[in-house]
Structure 1
């Protein structure tokens, strides 16, 4: 997903440009739009030279300020610049604002019926400037900025225009209306206009930030493995720079998966390694980035014994859940029932989840987890819902089925989540497709979610059937094609006596003997 460019211009360096007044009307790509709101919100909150308006500006109600400007404007004779008046503390900006008033009042003289109307307007705008602009920390090497997200009234647009003429960057955002075109001649002021499709649904600034955060979490991210030597190098760097990571030290953080794009040899190298030794592993005070495999191996090697050896190596770990999948959802979760449609009450209109509703129910297999883990799972469900990973967009029933399948996941999967220390060896699922079987959306929903929770997931399809490719975006899966496709391949068919398989896997394999 590429970044939108809504905020790009006003945050560019001032040395090679003049100040901007940019108006974005409508939305081209709502996901990108919301994503940039989320990414930029922290910058806006940290900077002290930005004023953000997310609703209509209230009329001034501080009578001390109003009366102060009333007394000063009494002497107005057609020039604000000639008045002895300090609108704000900064002398340099104060002079720019006074000049901007004169320019604007001259250009828009037809907008005021008489002097009294004009004076009232001047007092109102000066009061707004005092209230919202005076406290800004204005730097010499950057333009102060106004961001306005809402329907706009005439005097509000005039207020923005005067600040623009004073040297402010102005960004006006309105997904729902092009009302600015009816109020002001934007060409006269060289206001940049970008128009896209108008949206009928109104979302607040904060709602767009929340949706953008979900989109950010659901974006597919991939990292390239770099071979066997990377393991030692990353290990050394981790121990030198970050020190020893104590058990469970990272559990208070949220987890974000990073999909590894790898060769089969590299899967073998990193499969048994703790996450902290994999390329792409990182953490900060909030998030652990977990490099994981979400891979599919189509076919087998020409030498069937080599394929058996590979499968054996993948299975030879304590926390591996091996499933010979034949279409039985019970290997992963409980079977969906009509009563499960009651979960529709847990979905908000924008397909986010009423988390309190779910947590208070306390009747699902995941309910044995601590509240933070349950909450994280619900957030990951929202990420899957909001993602563009499915070839056919999820409808309401798909979402309910996916929610049900996740909440009722197999207890073994729940225990694997509970036992997962984010810096150590992560939980793993191997899905073996002996006979042609298609995955339904709710199973794929759960697979994606478990990947987001830090699971390694490998699908083995000796016959190369498109069990998952017809459901999800190809960008999601790391697909490898081996030497040949063998349908109805039996893992124990290499040795006619059947002893090789038992020697390799033994009693602990849990494999279903036919």
Structure 2
């Protein structure tokens, strides 16, 4: 079991006796540091204590790979009974078990645990790598088995402590898988990485196999703490003979278990590793500086290539690649025909989606579909929409074994031997064949320059992959039937160049192949609908010198390559002109608004404090004419009214006149009795809706829409989103006097989701800058507002509706639930009990309206 620790430097020292009957292990990686001196001192102290356990290994910046040819050959023979197609179903694990590979203990349970650990690691590798080819998988398995053979023996030590591993530095990918294996078979593993470079994030993405501690500071990885002095002392006592022996073996293990590197951990394991270990130990930095002999060889090789005539390809740029890619070469500026052609070819990265006044998403996919259809008719065309398949086992088998196993010194020797082997495709067009050879050389050099850590093994693997790809695709792009010469008619051979379209995510090696296609004279188009898809090219061609970048306005989630045209509507000239005029006239700044212009906006109520007379004046004013109205940041600020009228007027007829006048406004709902909210849900329904709340205690819109109580489904999408957003605003608004706990939140949600249809229609007709829908409540009884009534009024106020409550009795009503500071309270002089609401149509309108208070005071008419 993997166990969590509060102090890993202390807990990792606990013996097996203290770990119970089901022993657990620790696997921690510590990234960065806080106090450098204290951290390094703690590591040094831990190192001294772990040495005393007698069951301890330190890997200093790498895990060395065995260079013993006998061991490597023995491990490779283990794979012979297990074909590649069976690796995923456990055949390899079964073969290893039959060979006794897991029989490291007399305890069957221990051996079974080791077998299971190997299976877990192999399956996790295959899951992460998707479909690795034969050579990659063989290299991985061989390396893991060699490491296990070298270091797995510590698991058999009779010690009161389980084995411990410290890895100092940033482990490479294969090393991470091996550390996971060590942990699974019972090792405590501690990765001490003072830098922020952590490849675990690609291998153990969800921290399934390890736990991480991240600090704030970063430090370049130096020697393992406490070992510099010890190594200096060892060096003084070493004889010349010992030094030479150390150089030959490529590794050095001191009494404490510190292992020094022999090979880079990502170096593929081949038979040549044993045959020529000293030459292959060269680090990437050493390889990047060729010897004098290598430089001379490069000059000779380059001179031979340059003496042969080749196609000259120039990068041509355009902003209209979908049209320009169809233009023949001889119609492009910069084109020169035979005998020494100069080909202006495109290599374009088309990122994102262009904007238009119409359905730009459909236009984008239709343009891709039509381009693909047109290019397919030309015949000389390749399309990659799911990456470029790696070389198959059959293609890899065509590479001579002596080339794979050859101990190359540098990339120049790789190029020379590969050209001598004549593995590149032959088209029987001398000019094109020369260009293919030069392109291969250029791409290998380019790969070495772009890959700072590429050693000879990595360069060889890349070169052989490139050869397999060229042999697969060059015959399709340059078939002999289409290369018949027309004597006496120069310039006809290269008028119509091949096209290559790559759609979707791309890997580094695939970019180099596309570059090779372009150097052969092909038009290359890379397409991705998201800006994120261009990241591999940004590191490959940061200055856009090798490719031309077209970055469009919109981003769109990547979808499969279109298989047909989508339906689309096109705008007329008059329509486009009308839209342009609307953009100028109907803007937030001008103040002219067309109907429903802001239906996708939100609202922010600004509840006005007014006198009773002001309320009556503003009642029928549209939002845009009220004080404090504005539109800003996709939100309409709605000056609305929320008031309670206590008592009645001195002249009761005036009171009814006011009520009649207010209720006569358009889109007004008069509620003649309370409570007015109907409860249509049960207590069981209430508590069953708790799943609608997310972790933050807010209503989850997607889940609400699936609820059987949801009644907004017939509304337009922006309005549905608006209604849910307002519910969440209400949950957070602090409008209520009581505590808004989970139970009350559920009541708010159910009350609004099941609201009366007439109230819902008031919200539906609300065109925010125009007329405000209104609610008038007449309450003349002791039976006053319920909690649900108050929830509805608070919700409608938050949306921006006008609300007035008439209470002739002077009783407390909405004050029981809603904070009094959120609404006006106007007091009239008299109180009436059991005052029945008459039929408002029967009330006679006063011929001469009475003057208001200010008018009477200042004698204004």
Q: 1:157 to 1:267 in 2, by over 3 A?
A: same
Distance (Å, rounded) in 1 between the aligned partners of 2:606 and 2:748: 22
Say whether residues 1:276 and 2:651 are aligned partners. no
**Secondary structure of 1:296 counterpart:** strand
Equivalences for 1:30-429 in 2 at 5 Å?
A: 59=31, 109=37, 112-113=40-41, 127=195, 156=215, 241-330=589-678, 334-341=679-686, 342-361=688-707, 364-429=710-775
8 Å Cα contact 2:624/2:770 also seen in 1: yes
TM-score by length of 2: 0.31
8 Å Cα contact 2:588/2:631 also seen in 1: no
Q: 1:328 to 1:419 in 2, by over 3 A?
A: closer
Q: 1:408 to 1:464 in 2, by over 3 A?
A: same
Partner residue of 2:799? 453
**Secondary structure of 1:245 counterpart:** coil
The 10-residue stretch of structure 1 (368-377 or 405-414) with the greater mean CA deviation from structure 2: 368-377
Q: 1:324 to 1:402 in 2, by over 3 A?
A: same
**Secondary structure of 1:366 counterpart:** coil
Give the RMSD, CA atoms, in angstroms: 3.8
Partner residue of 2:853? none
Q: Could you report, residue by residue, the CA deviation over 1:147-205 in whole angstroms, capped at 9, with x for unpaired residues?
A: xxxxxx99735679xxxxxxxxxxxxxxxxxxxxxxxxxxxxxxxxxxxxxxxxxxxxx
2:788 to 413, 421, 442: 442
Q: 1:159 to 1:451 in 2, by over 3 A?
A: farther
**Secondary structure of 2:727 counterpart:** helix
**Secondary structure of 1:322 counterpart:** strand
Q: 1:262 to 1:122 in 2, by over 3 A?
A: farther
1:432 to 772, 775, 778: 778
**Secondary structure of 2:826 counterpart:** strand
Q: Could you report, residue by residue, the CA deviation over 1:100-133 in whole angstroms, capped at 9, with x for unpaired residues?
A: x9xx97xx8556428989xx9999999559xxxx
Q: 1:369 to 1:274 in 2, by over 3 A?
A: same
8 Å Cα contact 1:296/1:460 also seen in 2: yes
Q: CA deviation at 1:241?
A: 4.7
Distance (Å, rounded) in 2 between the aligned partners of 1:410 and 1:114: 69
Q: 1:477 to 1:109 in 2, by over 3 A?
A: same
**Secondary structure of 1:289 counterpart:** strand
Q: CA deviation at 1:428?
A: 0.4
8 Å Cα contact 2:671/2:777 also seen in 1: yes
8 Å Cα contact 1:256/1:288 also seen in 2: yes
Q: 1:397 to 1:377 in 2, by over 3 A?
A: same
Q: CA deviation at 1:485?
A: 2.1
Higher-RCO chain (CA-CA 8 Å, sequence separation at least 6): 1
Q: 1:375 to 1:354 in 2, by over 3 A?
A: same
The 10-residue stretch of structure 1 (408-417 or 336-345) with the greater mean CA deviation from structure 2: 336-345
8 Å Cα contact 2:643/2:823 also seen in 1: yes
Q: 1:499 to 1:401 in 2, by over 3 A?
A: closer
Q: CA deviation at 1:58?
A: 7.9
Unmatched runs of 5 consecutive residues or more in structure 2: 1-28, 46-60, 62-167, 171-191, 198-211, 220-585, 847-861
Partner residue of 1:52? none
Distance (Å, rounded) in 1 between the aligned partners of 2:42 and 2:30: 24
Give the 4+ runs in structure 1 shifted more than 4 A.
108-112, 114-117, 120-129, 157-160, 238-241
Q: CA deviation at 1:300?
A: 1.4
Distance (Å, rounded) in 2 between the aligned partners of 1:491 and 1:358: 39
The 10-residue stretch of structure 1 (440-449 or 365-374) with the greater mean CA deviation from structure 2: 365-374
Q: CA deviation at 1:304?
A: 1.6
Q: CA deviation at 1:366?
A: 2.7
The 10-residue stretch of structure 1 (457-466 or 361-370) with the greater mean CA deviation from structure 2: 361-370
Q: CA deviation at 1:293?
A: 1.0
Q: Could you report, residue by residue, the CA deviation over 1:227-255 in whole angstroms, capped at 9, with x for unpaired residues?
A: xxxxxxxxxxx999523111111111111
Distance (Å, rounded) in 2 between the aligned partners of 1:289 and 1:433: 30
Q: CA deviation at 1:432?
A: 0.5
